[in-house]
């Protein structure tokens, strides 16, 4: 069962890069998310299915006609291709979280596509504005935005949603989070799974039904726990979050193991459980605002995540691809921190979807020469 469980989770993760090819019956219940920072519990409470879009390698000729080069990352270009070619015409909703300037611009482009009749059957598009700033009104503002999102989704499915429905979905998601954390525990100390293999297993959290995910992830963790430990330098992948395994594979081809990534697809996919008291919607808004990593996440928040991971790694790879306009600003502080701790690092500038450039291949070779080749846990 375990190998099949791994294959099933991998297939679900891969499908998120080609979600536009889902059949019409699946699309009618699909809520397409441009970034995994939308409370999936609210989507499911409304009886719908979240599909968080990832970057893919497919060509986007129609989108290239309307989107300027160098502005929109691959995931948004792929989503535009799906919209413009009518493959998402039956989707229940497209939700664009305002987590970056490209996402917000993309929302405006979608609205303009509809206004001009470029996409005659454009599904309703909803902008989800979750603030990650501080201030006395932020908590209530985020809770209001989450309530508006739930109302929009309930209307999309013509369904009445109660707070008990939301609490039920929080409980299911928390159980799935616990299963994902069992997988993540197998990356610590002496890891028993490569980053390229485990990232899809963790990223599938955003799409797979939580009860099914709990079963599949638990079975996968049981199989992986019996593997031999993997030697070699343990790597943290930081910088702009990646939503695929191209960089993981390039790093691990050199004998290292990626044991964590900063971002919502791998080790940052699930985070802590949602603590739900009287107001489950506010609890969800607070959890996602506090833990989401994206271009608008405050630098101190991302920095704190990285600091918490450094004791378990031997080297750091920082991904700053061409479309990045945010994480590069945080690099000087990260470089200072790594130099202070004596942890070697390198910068990669290739698109995280691949291929890795020759220059970046050489940078990885140099990093591997500098990183300690460990055969035992750094801690313990």
Residue 94's domain comprises 18-156
Q: Does 159 have pLDDT greater than 90?
A: yes
Q: What is the pLDDT of residue 20?
A: 47
Tens of pLDDT along 12-24? 888 766 544 555 4
Please report whether residue 129 resides in a domain: yes
When divided into structural domains, the chain yields a total of 1
Please report whether residue 167 resides in a domain: no
Please report whether residue 147 resides in a domain: yes
The answer for residues whose C-beta is within 8 angstroms of residue 18's C-beta and 6 or more apart is 56, 58
Please report whether residue 296 resides in a domain: no
Q: Which two tokens stand for residue 369?
A: 């020469």
Q: What is the pLDDT of residue 318?
A: 97
Mean pLDDT of 51-69: 88
Please report whether residue 35 resides in a domain: yes
Q: Name the average pLDDT for the chain.
A: 90
Task: Output the domain CATH number for residue 91.
Answer: 3.40.50.11890
Please report whether residue 90 resides in a domain: yes
Q: Does 30 have pLDDT greater than 70?
A: yes
User: What are the residues facing 238 on neighbouring strands?
Assistant: 318
Please report whether residue 59 resides in a domain: yes
Q: Does 301 have pLDDT greater than 80?
A: yes
Q: What is the pLDDT of residue 306?
A: 94
Q: What is the pLDDT of residue 376?
A: 54
Tens of pLDDT along 351-379? 887 789 999 999 999 999 988 765 555 44
Please report whether residue 193 resides in a domain: no
Query: What is the SS3 assignment for the chain?
Result: CHHHHHHHHHHHHHHCCCHHHCCHHHHCCEEEECCCCCCHHHHHHCCCEEEECCCCCCCCHHHHHHCCCCCCCHHHHHHHHHHHCCCCCCCCEEEEECCCHHHHHHHHHHHHHHHHCCCCCCCCEEEECCCCCCCCCHHHHHHHHHHHHHHHHHHHCCCCCCHHHHHHHHHHHHHHHHHHHHHHHCCCCCCCCCHHHHHHHHHHHHCCCHHHHHHHHHHHHHHHCCCCCCCCCEEEEEECCCCCCHHHHHHHCCCCEEEEECCCCCCCCCCCCCCCCCCHHHHHHHHHHHHCCCCCCCHHHHHHHHHHHHHHCCEEEEECCCCCCCHHHHHHHHHHHHHHHCCCEEEECCCCCCCCCHHHHHHHHHHHHHCCCCCCCCCC
Q: What is the pLDDT of residue 130?
A: 92
User: What are the residues facing 50 on neighbouring strands?
Assistant: 31
Q: Does 198 have pLDDT greater than 80?
A: yes
Q: Over pLDDT 70: what percentage of the chain?
A: 94
User: What are the residues facing 239 on neighbouring strands?
Assistant: 319
């Amino acid at each position: 069962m375990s190998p099949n469980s791994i294959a099933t989770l991998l297939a679900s993760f891969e499908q998120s890069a080609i979600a536009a090819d889902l059949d019409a019956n699946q699309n009618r219940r699909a809520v397409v998310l441009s970034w995994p920072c939308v409370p999936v519990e609210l989507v499911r409470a409304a009886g719908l299915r979240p599909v968080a879009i990832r970057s893919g390698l497919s060509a986007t000729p129609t989108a290239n006609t309307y989107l300027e080069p160098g502005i929109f990352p691959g995931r948004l270009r792929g989503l535009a291709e799906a919209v413009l070619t009518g493959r998402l015409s039956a989707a229940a909703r497209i939700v664009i979280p305002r987590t970056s300037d490209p996402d917000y611009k993309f929302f405006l482009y979608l609205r303009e596509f509809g206004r001009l009749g470029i996409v005659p059957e454009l599904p309703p598009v909803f902008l989800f504005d979750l603030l990650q700033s501080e201030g006395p009104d932020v908590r209530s503002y985020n809770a209001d935005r989450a309530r508006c999102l739930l109302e929009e989704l309930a209307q999309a499915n013509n369904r009445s949603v109660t707070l008990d429905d939301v609490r039920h979905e929080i409980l299911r998601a928390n159980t799935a989070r616990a299963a994902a954390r069992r997988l993540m525990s197998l990356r610590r100390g002496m890891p028993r799974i490569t980053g390229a293999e485990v990232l899809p297993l963790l990223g599938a959290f955003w799409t797979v039904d939580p009860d099914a995910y709990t079963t599949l992830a638990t079975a996968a963790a049981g199989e992986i726990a019996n593997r031999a430990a993997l030697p070699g330098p343990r790597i943290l992948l930081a910088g702009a979050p990646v939503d695929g395994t191209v960089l993981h594979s390039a790093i691990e081809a050199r004998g290292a193991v990626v044991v964590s990534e900063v971002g919502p697809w791998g080790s940052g996919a699930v985070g802590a459980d949602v603590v739900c008291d009287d107001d489950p919607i506010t609890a969800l808004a607070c959890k996602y605002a506090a833990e989401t990593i994206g271009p608008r996440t405050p630098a101190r928040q991302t920095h704190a995540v990285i600091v918490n991971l450094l004791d378990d790694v031997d080297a750091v790879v920082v991904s700053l691809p061409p479309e990045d306009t945010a994480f590069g600003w945080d690099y000087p502080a990260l470089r200072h921190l790594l130099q202070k701790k004596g942890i070697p690092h390198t910068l990669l500038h290739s698109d995280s979807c691949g291929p890795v450039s020759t220059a970046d291949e050489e940078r990885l070779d140099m990093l591997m020469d500098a990183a300690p080749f460990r055969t035992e846990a750094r801690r313990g």
